[in-house]
Structure 1
Amino acid sequence: MFHFTTLFIGMDVHKESFSLCYYDMMANQFKHSTKVGPNVSYIVNYVNELRR
């Protein structure tokens, strides 16, 4: 059986970096904050990490 959860991902965009985190509704807190370079592949990797 599959269990699905909706995650709300926040992104603060700057010229030289992106700050990413997600909001956990069950815990009522932001989690997994990270700062990455301005490249879409880093965002895709972040989302794929959360899917595991």
Structure 2
Amino acid sequence: MLYFPNSDGTPISTGECQLVRVDREADAVYLELTSVPIQESDEVADGIILDYDKDG
């Protein structure tokens, strides 16, 4: 599903496979493109972390 938070933080959703989540407290944006479990993570640039499944 694709989520865009309303001004009060509640999500608006559309679609099926993607998720966009904003964490204002952590000053972070999360983009989930698949629901496949994460096997490893790699910080590819300062503050940018990519998660990989078992197939990379």
Q: Give TM-score scaled by structure 2 length.
A: 0.27
Q: Give TM-score scaled by structure 1 length.
A: 0.28
Higher fraction of strand: 2
Higher fraction of helix: 1
Larger relative contact order (CA 8 Å, sep ≥ 6): 1
